[in-house]
Chain A
Amino acid sequence: MKILQSGSLQLRLALRLGTVFLIATILAVALFFYLGNRTADALTRQDLFGQADSLAELLDERRPLMPFDQLVADRIIEANTAFVIRDQDGNVLEMSDEAFDLATRNYSASRGRSLFFTLDAFGAQSQPYSGLATREGSERGRITVIVAEPYNPENAILNAMLSEFAGTATWIIPIFVVVTVLVGVAAIRGGLKPLLDTALQAASIRPESLSVRLETTDLPTEIAPMVTAVNQALDRLEEGFEIQRRFTANAAHELRTPLTIISGAIENWDTQTDAGTLRQDVDRMNRLVNQLLQVARLDSGVLDRSEKFDLQSCARDVVEYMAPLAIDRQRRVALTGVVSPVIIQGNRPAVEDALRNLVENALIHTPIGTEVQVNVTEDHKIEVTDQGPGIDDDFGMYIFDRFWRDPSNDTPGAGLGLAIVSEVMKLHEGTVDYFNRPEGGACFRLKFGPELAA
């Protein structure tokens, strides 16, 4: 069984259950003791009242009373009972022994109210006595009868039983509590299992698997409405993603078809004077549309990042793809660094987009005849180095913002390239940074997190 985590519902319920059980048990035992003691006291008192009544009655019949032994033989009093009877003035009418009279001189009963007392010792007696002082009416007027007997042996048995029980209870109760808590935890765990399963299911939902819904069949009725609400939220979320996805796909098609037609038509002119500039405009539009679609795809959050792929071959593909364009612009691209595979996990087309944007940027911002290097390192990094003017330090903090453009020059571009790079890297839990090389030119560095290394 897994150790209960602090703060978990299971632990809280188990603690509460244990506490409640402990308190209830202690209260029950205390009540039991209280009632047991009361019963023992009541028995003693009944006994004492009986003897006092008998003595008072007997006093009306004869005086002086018969000898002590006779009283005992007639079962008026118990053999070890001590008594004293006084009149209203405190004069002793009858008594069992003087020591008792002496010991009880201070005890008196008021009208209608009897007094119970305990005597630790008197005269030669060393054992404790429990006694009663009561007023009785008699032919001689009001008399006070005080009787006492040693602590009742029968009641002592009862007390012994109680204390024995207490001794047992002190070690049985903790075991009971532990067992109850364990049973409780097992029960809670069993009861919460569907909830845990649901949580696991919910945790596995990603933008790529939005069609998954949480199971509601086995859930407790208290939880089911919450899970249903989550499912409904997922419905709406999926709908939103679906709209976004459809937009991306539709926009791709709708924008690309006319662009293909326009760029094709302009290419076919060939001899027209303004074809050259128009072609540049269309190229720019093509690039912008591609970038907008990349941004839309990144925003829609539907990128599957589970693929394992080789960064080196990814960089190689991009360099191969960019080489003819670079040559067209009288620049060069080169691939350097490791030649062995550098495997990471992620979305290869997105990483290719990012890298292509970096190389495109470098080719735009560097002088004719220079080289753009793509360098792959063993520790999951790709560096794109150019021989251009470098990045103005004042702009460093803005260059990764969407639609930001260097105000000091009028190079074409929508300011999306580096934003795409930065977002692709964020999605891969990696980073992009740049520095100006001491020997001139900028270097952009894509760092993929080691946790993405497969």
Chain B
Amino acid sequence: MRLLVIEDEQRIVDVLKTGLVNAGFIVDAVNTTADADNALNCISYDAAILDLGLPDGDGLNVLKLARSHGAQLPILILTARDAIEDRVQGLDAGADDYLIKPFAIKELVSRIKALLRRPGGALGAVLNAGNVTLDTIGREVTVAGNPVVLSRRELSILEHMLRRFGRVVPREVIEEKLYALDHEPESNAVPVHVHHLRRKLTEGQATVEIHTVRGIGYLLAEQTQ
């Protein structure tokens, strides 16, 4: 998968490149808005990481131009400015996510992967986390290479958690997914399905586990030891 990093600080580019290459991406880097416009025009990248403060202009303009040309790729913005207006402006201009400097490379990689796991994204067809794999087309799940049988509802929940790996998935969002399957979901349907799913993952010796964030929802994360 090919990513474009648009960032003027060479040392940060180096760090990002190393981290992203280690995570299995192919990375191109540019450091001006002009180069960014050209690169986005010529090459069909799977995602872009955009710094807002560039020497020859505002990174937001790159974002707006790309979106006006119909570019669909996920774009994550980086900014040292943590004023809420900047985030809102960035998201309004068509950014898919944002991170504030300083950020952890691990966080960046997981955010990028999450963006790519969206339906239609480069990682959208086969979802991966730890030793768990979900083929969204074949509707098959493997844990540590062994197929695991999940109900339709469990599979739907797992798919959603994989797409937002490492972040909280609100319970209401899962409920909505189940509404699409069940006409009359029971009040405790979600906890019951999550419970079954959790047990099946543990039984298959998955390296990821489902955590409950009481009051909000669930979170799929790598096992802490």
Contact = CB atoms under 8 A, between A and B. Distances in A.
Given A257-B101, A264-B19, A334 B166 contact: no
A253 B211 CA distance: 35
Report, as a range, how many residues of chain B touch the other chain.
20 to 34
B15 A319 contact: no
Nearest to A285: B102
Contact of B12 (A257, A335, A374): A257
A334 B105 contact: no
A302 to B, nearest CB: 11
Contacts of A371: 214
A332 interface: yes
Interface in A325-361: 327-328, 330, 332-336, 348-349
A268 B216 contact: no
A374 B213 CA distance: 11
Contacts of A426: none
Interface string B200-225: 00000000000111111001010010
Nearest to B214: A334
Contacts of A373: 214
* Interface of chain B, main secondary structure: mixed
Contact of B213 (A252, A261, A320, A328): A320
Interface string B64-91: 0000000000000000111110000000
Interface in A296-338: 316, 319-320, 323-324, 327-328, 330, 332-336
A92 interface: no
A217 to B, nearest CB: 35
B105 A323 contact: no
Nearest to B87: A349
A95 interface: no
A267 interface: yes
B195 to A, nearest CB: 17
Contact of A349 (B53, B84, B167): B84
Nearest to A324: B166
A327 B219 contact: yes
A335 B215 contact: yes
A211 interface: no
A348 B101 CA distance: 20
Contacts of A75: none
A446 to B, nearest CB: 17
A246 interface: no
A108 interface: no
Given A261-B12, A324-B221, A327-B221, A334 B84 contact: no
Contacts of B22: 268, 270
A267 B214 contact: no
A13 interface: no
Contacts of A327: 211, 219, 221, 224
B106 interface: yes
* Interface of chain A, main secondary structure: helix
A83 to B, nearest CB: 110
Contact of B81 (A252, A267, A286, A316): A252
Contacts of A257: 9, 11-12, 80, 101
A320 B16 CA distance: 25
B167 to A, nearest CB: 7
Contacts of A452: none
A373 B216 CA distance: 12
Contacts of B219: 323-324, 327
Given A264-B16, A268-B18, A253 B214 contact: no
A288 B168 CA distance: 26
Contact of A336 (B12, B83, B167, B215): B215
B12 A323 contact: no
Contacts of B102: 256, 259-260, 263, 286, 289
Interface in B160-192: 166-168
Contacts of B26: none
A59 to B, nearest CB: 117
A156 interface: no
Interface string A132-165: 0000000000000000000000000000000000
A261 B11 contact: yes
A268 B214 contact: no
A349 B87 CA distance: 12
A333 B213 contact: yes
B214 A330 contact: no
A26 interface: no
Contact of A320 (B18, B167, B224): B167
B104 interface: yes
A70 B53 CA distance: 127
Interface string B102-118: 11111000000000000
A35 interface: no
Interface in A251-290: 252-253, 256-257, 259-261, 263-265, 267-268, 270, 286, 289
B59 to A, nearest CB: 14
A321 to B, nearest CB: 9
5 contacts: A252-B81, A265-B15, A267-B104, A332-B213, A335-B216
Given A265-B15, A316-B216, 12 more contacts: A256-B80, A263-B104, A265-B18, A267-B105, A268-B18, A268-B19, A270-B22, A319-B213, A320-B167, A323-B216, A327-B221, A373-B214
